[in-house]
Amino acid sequence: MVTAYDERLFVFSETLNAQSNANAMWTVLNSELARYGFSGATYAAFPALRAGGVSKEMLHYSSYDEKFVSLYVEQQLADDDYAVLHCMNDERPALWSGIQDRYSTPRQMLFNEIAKDYHLHEGLIIPFREETGFVLGGIGLAIAPEHEADVLSQLGDTRHLIIGLCSAFDQRIKSPQVLKDALHLTQRHLECLRYLCLGLTDKEIAARTGLSVKTVENYIGVAMKRIKARNRHHATAKAIVLGLVTI
């Protein structure tokens, strides 16, 4: 028997799949979430194994206040965001108010104060785990203070649908084709990355592609920046883990 939940999720998934790029998908998700009282969302995906903080390696989308988003990126606040930390340590959805007290270092408390300054008081965090375990992440859904009571009272009925909508977005954006677009990688970038994964030198890649060695170096360098790789070895590992290239 097809339920209203199934129908809504099907319609949303069809609309999501009809979009041509990641930004359009993000807009569709935010429009859908607004129907259930959420004032904004922030999404992040990052490698489970990192040399540095999450902020340096995450794929990030946010519809929060632009000033907050700028501060979040510039000050690398993701490393002390209780929602991000929850996604690293737990697989269960949770309300922000239920997890904030677990994180009380000076930097974490500073993040809490900054978030409150931008009216980010309460919300829902939904962790995501990629099947192989190589990629972590999640989505935080903000509830405007003036709608908090209504949204929380309805969450018992809407919770599973909200999780389903966000999971559909997560799965779609992590598909190799969409991820390539989100990272602004052209076929040339991916071609050079693939040959790099196969162990070819820049000179050998140039011979295979018909490009100059300098151009190959440029493509690889740009690709490394866009996938936030520390070096070439890291770039090959991330390209394979993210499904950007197949060997």
24-33, long-range: CB within 8 Å, 24+ apart, which pairs?
25/169, 25/172, 25/173, 25/178, 26/61, 26/63, 26/169, 29/165, 29/166, 29/169, 30/63, 32/165, 33/141, 33/162, 33/165, 33/166
Position 53 scores a pLDDT of: 80
Q: With pLDDT > 90 as the criterion, what percentage of the chain qualifies?
A: 66
Answer yes or no: is pLDDT of 236 > 60.
yes
Q: How far apart are CA 152 and CA 96, in angstroms?
A: 12
Model confidence band, residue 1 (pLDDT cutoffs 50, 70, 90): low
Sheet holding 94-95, edge to edge: 59-62, 38-47, 135-143, 122-129, 94-95
Q: How far apart are CA 86 and CA 33, in angstroms?
A: 21
Instruction: Report the pLDDT averaged over residues 59-78.
Output: 94
For 182-210, what is each residue's pLDDT tens digit? 888 999 999 999 999 999 999 999 999 99
Tell me which of 238 and 89 has the higher pLDDT.
Answer: 89
Give the DSSP letter string of 18-86: T-SSHHHHHHHHHHHHHTTTEEEEEEEEEESS-SS-GGGT-EEEE-S-HHHHHHHHHTTGGGG-HHHHH
Instruction: Report the pLDDT averaged over residues 60-77.
Output: 94
Q: With pLDDT > 70 as the criterion, what percentage of the chain qualifies?
A: 98
- Is residue 142 helix, strand or coil? strand
**107, containing H or E segment:** helix 106-117
Q: Are 112 and 99 in contact (CB under 8 A)?
A: no
Q: Are 71 and 99 in contact (CB under 8 A)?
A: no
**Amino acid found at 163:** I
Model confidence band, residue 2 (pLDDT cutoffs 50, 70, 90): low
Mean pLDDT of the chain: 90
Instruction: Report the pLDDT averaged over residues 69-95.
Output: 94
Strand 135-143 with 122-129, pairing: antiparallel
* For the chain, domain boundaries: 4-175, 183-241
Second-level CATH architecture of 183-241: Orthogonal Bundle (1.10)
4-175 matches 183-241 in fold: no
Instruction: Report the pLDDT averaged over residues 97-109.
Output: 91
Strand extents, DSSP E, 115-244: 122-129, 135-143
Q: Are 193 and 223 in contact (CB under 8 A)?
A: yes
Position 51 scores a pLDDT of: 67
Tell me how far CA of residue 75 lies from CA of 41, 66, 79, 171, in angstroms: 19, 14, 9, 29
Position 114 scores a pLDDT of: 93
Domain 4-175, CATH number (from 3.90.1170.20, 3.40.640.10, 3.40.50.300, 3.30.450.80): 3.30.450.80
For 7-26, what is each residue's pLDDT tens digit? 889 999 999 999 988 899 99
> In terms of pTM, does the model score above 0.85?
no
